[in-house]
Amino acid sequence: MSLSALVERYAQFEKRGVGFYRGLAERFAADAAAARLWREMSNTEASHFALLELTQDWIAMSGGGASAPATTPEGLDALAARMGEIEAAAEGPGTTLAEAVALAVDWEELELPRIIDLVPHLPAKAQGRVLAGMIAEAAEHYRLLMELANAAAAPGALARVSALAERARATLG
């Protein structure tokens, strides 16, 4: 798979993230604070989608970029299927805020590693932009998720989000 094709697939995953978090905002609309946080999470995913769409242009302008990270169509299909399971669980009629937070952490645990693995394969301009727009920005994204975990009294989610935040910080050096 070419680097550009992989980035397009990743962009589509980010677009799914927009819908995932918007759905949670609608589901928990009666809780104004939670709904606001879910909307902010959705907006962040929208910025990730836009950034990866631009990354495809930067790859094209650089002559195609380096090789893509080791991945297979089957691996990407499995990732998409896992995302579908998370989306379906979030749409369940009895999903609580704590369960929704845990599902959001599951979602984020799928996202961060693939973006970290992608960055070294990108052209220099795209590397800097993706690091700034997705990895450096993760601190705020995870802060929102921690607020949701606190509101849901989900201490297990807090530890998992902290681990994600630490991995993002370590990536930045």
The CATH class, in words, for 3-172 is: mainly alpha
What's residue 62's pLDDT?
A: 86
Is this prediction's pTM over 0.85?
yes
> Where does residue 159 rank: exposed (0-12), middle (13-18), buried (19+ CB within 10 A)?
exposed
Look up residue 66 and give its two tokens. 């380096």
What's residue 39's pLDDT?
A: 98
52 CA to centre of own chain: 12
What's residue 24's pLDDT?
A: 98
Nearest of 109, 157, 165 to residue 135 by alpha carbon = 165
Alpha-carbon span 153 to 157, nearest angstrom = 9
144 CA to centre of own chain: 13
Q: Where are the domains of the chain?
A: 3-172
Return averaged pLDDT per consecutive 10 residues of the chain, 173 residues in all.
Answer: 94 97 97 97 96 94 81 94 98 95 97 95 92 92 95 92 96 89
